[in-house]
């Protein structure tokens, strides 16, 4: 099965890939050449650091290319699921205890970033939300105990 990804997520990953290829890869190649010019490579910390950085960059480039080539890009704004929660939905949740509200978008595993409110489709919260409707309640077993949330809003705005 192809991994789902939102259009925004795919654009973000493509931008990262482009920066790695056009900015960071040439910079690390220059750093390696400069460090080589300093002579003895055995005790040249700059050379070893640059080679390590090159390994990380090349690894990330390969990872991004593979993930993007196998991903199924989904235009979230074209989904018409109404108040039902499916992949790509932006969901407003209210904690039943504290009444604190949170907003999450359910995205592919490749683009998940909890700091930006992007939760992976494979996460326990997303799995509890899928198929539910606005107004439904969900129960999630969190590290701090069982939490109950009410779905106060569902939207599909990409």
The mean pLDDT of 132-140, rounded to a whole number, is 93
Same domain, 135 and 100: yes
CATH number of the CATH domain containing 68: 1.10.287.180
The mean pLDDT of 11-38, rounded to a whole number, is 94
- The number of folded domains in the chain is 2
Single pTM value for the model: 0.77
Residue 76 has a pLDDT of: 86
Q: What is the CA radius of gyration of the chain?
A: 21
Domain assignment of residue 99, given as a range:
78-155
The mean pLDDT of 43-72, rounded to a whole number, is 93
Scanning the structure block, which residue is given the tokens 């590290």? 143
CATH number of the CATH domain containing 128: 3.10.50.30
| Per-residue pLDDT tens digits for 93-108 | 999 888 899 999 999 9
Same domain, 58 and 89: no
Same domain, 99 and 128: yes
Binned at pLDDT 50, 70 and 90, residue 158 comes out as low
**Which of 20, 52, 74 is the endpoint of a domain?**
74
């Amino acid at each position: 099965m192809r991994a789902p990804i939102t259009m925004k997520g795919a654009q973000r990953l493509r931008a990262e890939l482009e920066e790695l290829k056009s900015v960071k890869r040439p910079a690390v190649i220059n750093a390696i050449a400069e460090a080589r010019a300093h002579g003895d490579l055995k005790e040249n910390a700059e050379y070893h650091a640059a080679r390590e950085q090159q390994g990380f960059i090349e690894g990330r480039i390969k990872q991004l290319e593979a993930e993007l080539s196998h991903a199924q890009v989904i235009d979230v704004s074209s989904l018409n699921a109404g108040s039902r929660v499916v992949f790509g939905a932006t969901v407003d949740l209210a904690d039943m205890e504290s009444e604190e509200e949170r907003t999450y978008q359910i995205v592919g595993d490749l683009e998940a970033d909890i700091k930006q409110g992007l939760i992976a489709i494979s996460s326990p919260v997303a799995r509890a939300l899928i198929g539910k409707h606005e107004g439904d309640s969900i129960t999630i077993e969190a590290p701090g105990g069982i939490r109950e949330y009410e779905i106060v809003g569902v939207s599909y705005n990409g």
